[in-house]
Structure 1
Amino acid sequence: MTDPTVSVRAMAPAEFDRWQDELAVEYAREHVTAGNWTAEEGLGRARTAIAALLPDGMATVGQLILVGELADGTPIGRIWISLTHPRGLPDCAFIQDIEVSTEHRGRGLGRALLAAGERVARERGARALELNVFGANETAATLYRTSGYRVVTQQMRKDLLD
């Protein structure tokens, strides 16, 4: 089986509005699952965090908000890359979000979307690319490890219960 080919294009305004809602729900869920936020506060905190990163929405400078597509134009997912690293690392971009739509998972498209995002970041001057992955998301962690990403920092937690 050959690797699927995925290209990326800028997200359209209608797609952006829908993505913002979906991203907030997913980001809140991940933080609630990780024990960082309560379910009651999750969605509000997620929306606030995303708005801080995208103060001008789609027009925020230094942000690549892309849709991954198959050769026939079928959208399969999205990737959001900040060309400026959150901790200021020079020449290092940061993947804020990557997701393959549920109906397209399990076919190697995540790896193809990741590679397409890497190409665009490289074309924009990035010499490295980082991301965070929640500890409970072993599927994503495996994808990143097998795509050449390595752990550079690691945060661990132990719940202290009475």
Structure 2
Amino acid sequence: MPVQLIPLDDDRFDEWRDATRARLIRLRQESGILLGDDAVAEVDAFLTQLLPAGRATETSSIVRIADGDRELGTLWMMAAGGILHLVDLALVEAIEQRILDELFDVIATIARTHAVERLRISLYSTDVAGRAFVEGRGFDCASIRMLLEPVPSRGSTTAPLELTRMTEERFAAFAAESEEAFAADLVASGRYSEDEARTESRRQMALELPDGLDSAGQELFTAQVDGTEVGVLWLGIRDRDGEPHVFILDIEVGAEHRRRGFGRAMMLATEHEARRVGAGSIGLHVFGFNDGAIRLYEGLGYRRVEERFHLDLSTQ
């Protein structure tokens, strides 16, 4: 008998929610993306937001994955905006390839039946079973969260680069350029339409920089070499398990200054800034299509802690 997706019985919802909560907390903590009580608080907020009415939440579908009499795990799905979100795929660790193939076929059939053409799933670095489901099925990596921990002491940069606090005059142009560039990257990642990307980029800028250069916890720099600007760097100073954490919100080398080592020099300068504020870790987000940046970050010791994948079923 092929794999079946069976709606979760009402009397099992509380058990499922408790197990899912524990699993999501564990995955965040094991991957390092969140630690301690931060992971607990984030997961509790996540479950409250997506399951406001508990089992009766109409936007969610929670099913058991069964192969005959064998229960292989659970799947939590949500459909929105033409996308079927696989919110949590909880599989037993050792699972046959046949099962994965049949599970994918069942999910794809459900999506097409509801006129949904795209699948989306986020996976943490330690989710072995989830990664086995994604591999070899045409999923594209839309984005990656990366972490460098601990912050190394590498000495001076190889390029004569200096970070200078951004001026109000430069900020006005930077804010417009950064918002436009982020929107373009969102579209290129395949996650947003042009209108959605502009709205999301504008929202993110307003959230992070409500008071412009004076926004709390934000440090913005221009990178200069011999008095000439070669790039810009935007760092957010965050809290991670009670300790300072630096998150790279934007790093950009001017087009005419690329392939001269300035990007690496700016990353090393970021490490210096992290040590200055007492941060023991640095995080960043990179779009999956940006191969050059990914190679740079991994070469500096950053590791992947979370990846978001999407699949266009119309191409299958």
Give TM-score scaled by structure 2 length: 0.48
Q: Cα deviations across residues 44-77 of structure 1 (Å, max 9, x unaligned)?
A: 321221111111111011111111111x111110
Once the 2 structures are TM-superposed, how far is the Cα of residue 12 of structure 1 from its aligned partner?
A: 0.4
Alignment check: 8 A CA contact 1:93 1:126 kept: yes
Counterpart residue type for residue 248 of structure 2: I
Instruction: Choose which of 128, 150, 154 in structure 1 pairs with 2:307.
Output: 154
**C-alpha separation between the residues in 2 aligned to 1:155 and 1:93?**
22
2:219 is the counterpart of 1:64: yes
Instruction: Choose which of 136, 140, 143 in structure 1 pairs with 2:289.
Output: 136
Match of 2:113 in 1: none
2:243 is the counterpart of 1:94: no
Once the 2 structures are TM-superposed, how far is the Cα of residue 146 of structure 1 from its aligned partner?
A: 1.0
Alignment check: 8 A CA contact 2:244 2:277 kept: no
Counterpart residue type for residue 81 of structure 1: L
Residue aligned with 1:158, SS: strand
Instruction: Choose which of 18, 43, 52 in structure 1 pairs with 2:207.
Output: 52
2:174 is the counterpart of 1:13: no
Counterpart residue type for residue 75 of structure 1: E
Counterpart residue type for residue 56 of structure 1: D
Once the 2 structures are TM-superposed, how far is the Cα of residue 119 of structure 1 from its aligned partner?
A: 0.6
Counterpart residue type for residue 55 of structure 1: P
Structure 1 segments (4+ residues) deviating >6 Å: none
Q: Cα deviations across residues 59-101 of structure 1 (Å, max 9, x unaligned)?
A: 011111111111x11111011111115xx55332100000000
Give TM-score scaled by structure 1 length: 0.91
Instruction: Choose which of 273, 288, 296 in structure 2 pairs with 1:120.
Output: 273
Instruction: Choose which of 28, 33, 43 in structure 1 pairs with 2:183.
Output: 28
Counterpart residue type for residue 211 of structure 2: D
Question: Please, what is the CA RMSD of the aligned residues?
Answer: 1.6
**C-alpha separation between the residues in 2 aligned to 1:121 and 1:3?**
18
Alignment length, in residue pairs? 158
Match of 2:117 in 1: none
Higher strand share: 2
Structure 2 unaligned regions, length at least 5: 1-156
Alignment check: 8 A CA contact 1:81 1:121 kept: no
Structure 1 unaligned regions, length at least 5: none
Counterpart residue type for residue 77 of structure 1: G
**C-alpha separation between the residues in 1 aligned to 2:158 and 2:271?**
16
Instruction: Choose which of 160, 184, 198 in structure 2 pairs with 1:43.
Output: 198
Match of 2:159 in 1: 4
Match of 2:57 in 1: none
**C-alpha separation between the residues in 2 aligned to 1:100 and 1:82?**
18
Counterpart residue type for residue 264 of structure 2: R
**C-alpha separation between the residues in 2 aligned to 1:82 and 1:45?**
18
**C-alpha separation between the residues in 2 aligned to 1:139 and 1:154?**
17
User: Which of the two has higher C-alpha Rg?
Assistant: 2
User: What fraction of aligned residue pairs are identical, expressed as a percent?
Assistant: 35
- Greater alpha carbon shift after TM alignment, 97-106 vs 142-151: 142-151
Once the 2 structures are TM-superposed, how far is the Cα of residue 160 of structure 1 from its aligned partner?
A: 2.1
Match of 2:228 in 1: 74
Alignment check: 8 A CA contact 2:218 2:235 kept: yes
- Greater alpha carbon shift after TM alignment, 117-126 vs 10-19: 117-126
